[in-house]
Chains A and B, each alone.
Chain A
């Protein structure tokens, strides 16, 4: 079975500052990793995913994440955030058989002017 831990429930940051949202996972098998963003009362939008290959993954809206197998981490970063990035961010994992997505607890990113 897989599990995901997002280490920060809330991350406040000023506009144009860099941000890192942390995610660690646990699994006995190889996994695929995902980051999603959720705006209030909406579904989830995929930011990026790691399936294989380069450990640095670039996604939409200027976000990127790095897969670190030895540290079982998949932290999300953005060099300069905007007010519009204020949302809930979820890290998720699935096994490589294309099974269900297991989500972390979520991190609320709050960007202040």
Chain B
């Protein structure tokens, strides 16, 4: 089946630094990827939709300059959290639309802790 590999699974960074999270589709081409953020015991909130070769579409309230999304190839999308602060600590999950009819597959998530 369609697999999305997300790395790193956990990262701790200092406040003010930037962190990059990668999502790779391993056995299919992902023209569209979605990035979600999840706080403890809460739902997944869509941050942005990225389409290969074009600018990402951000949801209302999401700072595009802080959460940089790049989808330069059909198998790789990245989310960079710039100038991270403790309030950015969260669980970030990517998802890709697969070739199956309205199939979505999810990465395993990245636990970001900013200290």
Report whether chain A binds chain B.
Answer: yes
Residue ranges of A at the interface with B (Cβ–Cβ < 8 Å) = 32, 34, 36, 41-46, 49, 51, 90, 94, 98, 100-106, 108
Contact B46 A51 (CB under 8 A): no
Is the Cβ of B102 less than 8 Å from the Cβ of A42?
no
Contact of A94 among B4, B6, B102 (CB under 8 A): B102
Could you list 10 A-B pairs, sorted by A, with CB under 8 Å? A41-B91, A42-B108, A42-B109, A43-B6, A46-B103, A98-B97, A101-B46, A103-B43, A105-B42, A105-B43
Contact B109 A103 (CB under 8 A): no
Per the bound structure, the CA–CA distance linking A32 and B106 in Å amounts to: 18
Considering the chains assembled together, what is the distance between the CA atoms of A65 and B22 in angstroms?
34
Decide: A44 and B106 in contact? CB cutoff 8 A: yes
Partner of B44, one of A42, A98, A103, A108: A103
Count of interface residues, chain B, beta-carbon cutoff 8 Å: 25
B1 to chain A, nearest CB (A): 10
- Docked complex Cα distance between A90 and B84 (Å): 28
Complex contact B43–A106 (CB within 8 A): yes
* B46 CB to nearest A CB, Å: 6
A104 with B109: CB separation less than 8 A: no
Residues of B within 8 A of A (CB): 4, 6, 9, 34, 41-46, 49, 91, 93, 95, 97, 101-109, 111
Q: Is the interface of A mostly helix, strand, loop or mixed?
A: strand
Report yes or no: B44 in contact with A90, Cβ–Cβ below 8 A.
Answer: yes
Contact residues in B for A41 (Cβ distance below 8 Å): 9, 91, 109, 111
Q: Which 4 A-B pairs have the closest CB atoms?
A: A43-B106, A44-B106, A43-B108, A103-B44
Contact B42 A32 (CB under 8 A): no
Given A49, A106, A108, which contacts B102 in the complex, CB threshold below 8 Å? Answer: A49
| CB–CB B106/A51 < 8 A | no
Contact in complex: B93, A100 (CB < 8 Å): no
- B104–A43 touching, CB < 8 Å: no
CA distance in complex: A102, B59 (Å) = 12
